[in-house]
């Protein structure tokens, strides 16, 4: 009896050793991948120690310039959108996704004209998050308001609820999309503050970079909670406001000179 159990024990030991070795061999390449890839792609969950935001100085926003829109389209694969065959151009303009748009306004009293880009304002109390029936529309810990496209059922209630008409619904099959920005038919989407850049360790959003490249520097992106960041310093140095501030949404995107 004892002999038999000893033999079984040894066999079991051998098995466990092989399994442990196999498991180690499996894990090692992954560990090496982590090491070599470097710290840039995010490996720790986001926290609320950071809150991303933007300041848009409309006095610097140039009339007729749409560099921010073009940059956003390229960064997020929106320039790959294709009008479905058989649809009129006019209708396609009204159905295609737009994450950021240029708006020109004139004051009724003074006639003063302002130009500004308008996108999801990443509110602290987002109405779109409140109304989403499945919780697909959510606010990330670092303040970015996103749509979880795995959970979105495409009811478009958030589009109804957004005070800035910032959201778009994808009306057509998406044939071409970027690896870092998945998007597909039947879900709702909006500006993500270039979340793929946030999670890849890049400093700024596509629109802010493009505006700086054009020389206008109307868009400043940064961490609102860091009082030393360029964004916070600019916010502290001038009068800024939220669009539709009476709604008290505490938006992450602020505007000056409008």
Partner 1 sequence: MANAVIRGSLLSVGLAGALCALAAQAAGDSHVVPGSRAATLEHCVAPTPFMRRNHMELLLHQRDITVHTGVVSTKYSIVDCVACHVSYTGEHKPIPINGEGQFCDTCHEDAAVQMDCFECHATVPVPAPKNGVAGDPHGGLVRDAVALSGSVLHPEGPEEGNRP
Partner 2 sequence: MKRIVYREWSVAPHRYWALLGILAAVAGVGGLAALYMEHEGHWVTGMTNQVMWGVPHVFAVFLIVAASGALNVASIGSVFGKIIYKPLGRLSGLVAAALLVGGLLVLVLDLGRPERLIVAMTTYNFRSIFAWNIFLYTGFLAVVLAYLWTMMEHKGNPYTKHAGFFAMVWRLTLTTGTGSIFGFLVARQAYDTAVLAPMFIAMSFSYGLAIFMLVLMFTFDQDGRPIGQAVLYRLKNLLAIFIGGVLFFVLVYFITKLYMAKNTGLALFYLLDGGIYTAVFWVGWILAGSLVPLGIIFHPVRGKDPRWIAAACGLVILGGLASMYVIIIGGEAFPMQLFPDQTILASGFFDGVGGAPAHYAPSLWEVLLGLGGVAVAMLITAVGLRVLQFLPESLDDQTVDPDALAKA
Residue ranges in contact with partner 1 by CB under 8 A: 22, 25-26, 28-30, 32-34, 36-38, 40-46, 71, 74-77, 138, 140-142, 146, 148-150, 173-174, 176-187, 195-196, 198-200, 209-210, 213
> Would you say 140 or 254 has its CB closer to partner 1?
140
Among 7, 12, 13, 173, binds partner 2 (CB under 8 A): 173
- C-alpha 139 chain-centroid distance: 10
Question: Nearest 10 degrees: CA dihedral of 25, 29, 30, 34?
Answer: 140
Residue 134 interacts with which of partner 2, partner 1, none, CB < 5 to 8 Å by class: partner 2
Q: Are 187 and 154 in contact (CB under 8 A)?
A: yes
Q: Does 176 bind partner 2 (CB under 8 A)?
A: no
CA distance linking residue 55 with residue 72, whole number of Å: 17
Q: Are 97 and 168 in contact (CB under 8 A)?
A: yes
Ramachandran quadrant class, 215 (left: phi over 0; alpha: psi -120 to 50; beta: rest): left
Residues that bind partner 2 (rule: CB under 8 A) add up to a total of: 61
Interface residues toward partner 2, by CB under 8 A? 66, 69, 84, 87, 91-92, 94-98, 100-109, 113-114, 118, 127, 129-135, 151-157, 159-165, 167-173, 185-188, 243-244, 247, 258
């Amino acid at each position: 009896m004892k002999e038999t159990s000893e033999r079984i024990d040894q066999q079991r030991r051998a098995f466990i050793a092989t399994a442990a070795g196999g498991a180690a061999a499996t894990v090692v390449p992954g560990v090496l991948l982590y090491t070599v890839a470097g710290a840039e792609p995010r490996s720790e969950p986001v926290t609320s120690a950071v809150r991303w935001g933007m300041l848009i100085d409309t006095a610097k926003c140039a009339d007729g310039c749409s560099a921010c829109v073009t940059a956003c389209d390229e960064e997020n694969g929106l320039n790959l959108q294709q009008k479905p065959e058989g649809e009129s151009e006019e209708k396609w303009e009204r159905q295609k996704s737009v994450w950021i748009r240029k708006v020109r306004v004139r004051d009724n009293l003074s006639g003063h004209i302002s130009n500004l880009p308008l996108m999801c304002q990443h509110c602290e109390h987002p109405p779109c998050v409140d109304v989403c029936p499945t919780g697909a529309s959510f606010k990330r810990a670092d303040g970015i308001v996103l749509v979880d496209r795995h959970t979105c059922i495409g009811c478009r209630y958030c589009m109804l609820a957004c005070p800035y008409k910032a959201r778009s619904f994808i009306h057509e099959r998406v044939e071409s999309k970027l690896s870092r920005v998945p998007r597909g038919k039947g879900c709702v989407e909006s500006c993500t503050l270039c979340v793929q850049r946030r999670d890849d360790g890049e400093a700024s959003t596509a629109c802010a970079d493009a505006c700086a490249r054009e020389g206008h520097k109307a868009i400043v992106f940064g961490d609102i909670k860091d009082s030393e960041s360029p964004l916070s310093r600019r916010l502290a140095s001038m009068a800024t406001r939220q669009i539709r501030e009476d709604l008290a949404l505490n938006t992450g995107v602020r505007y000056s000179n409008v």
